[in-house]
Amino acid sequence: GESVGLHLPTLSVQEGDNSIINCAYSNSASDYFIWYKQESGKGPQFIIDIRSNMDKRQGQRVTVLLNKTVKHLSLQIAATQPGDSAVYFCAENLRSGGFKTIFGAGTRLFVKA
């Protein structure tokens, strides 16, 4: 079936440490992946994306890694800050059958000062 899931529902890290949020997907037809950040009381916001023809993409303090062999996606946040505390969603986009975006359930990141 089609699913996008997260290995850990919550993650607690110390300020300044690196964070890694994982995501598994099951549909090999997915060709585009996006990470969103949702702060309390707000809508999800785009963080970074990656296409299936790439293994890694870097942004400002964030890196997304894609392992198509095991259908795994991860978001790495360097030098985690209190402002990074939020729920993080991965989403996969399927080209086949028209528009379809599947969101994972989310991982809550707590940053301890």
Q: Which residues contact other proteins by CB under 8 A?
A: 4, 32, 34, 36, 41-46, 49, 51, 89, 93, 95, 98-99, 101, 103-106
Phi, then psi, of 84 in degrees rounded to 5: -85, -10
CA 62, 63, 68: angle at the middle one, nearest 5? 150
Decide whether 32 or 110 has the Cβ nearer to other proteins: 32
Decide whether 28 or 40 has the Cβ nearer to other proteins: 40
Decide whether 41 or 83 has the Cβ nearer to other proteins: 41
CB of 9 vs other proteins, minimal distance in Å = 8
Place of tokens 């994982």: 22
DSSP state, residue 96: T
CB of 82 vs other proteins, minimal distance in Å = 21
Per DSSP bridges, beta strands 45-51 and 56-58 are unpaired
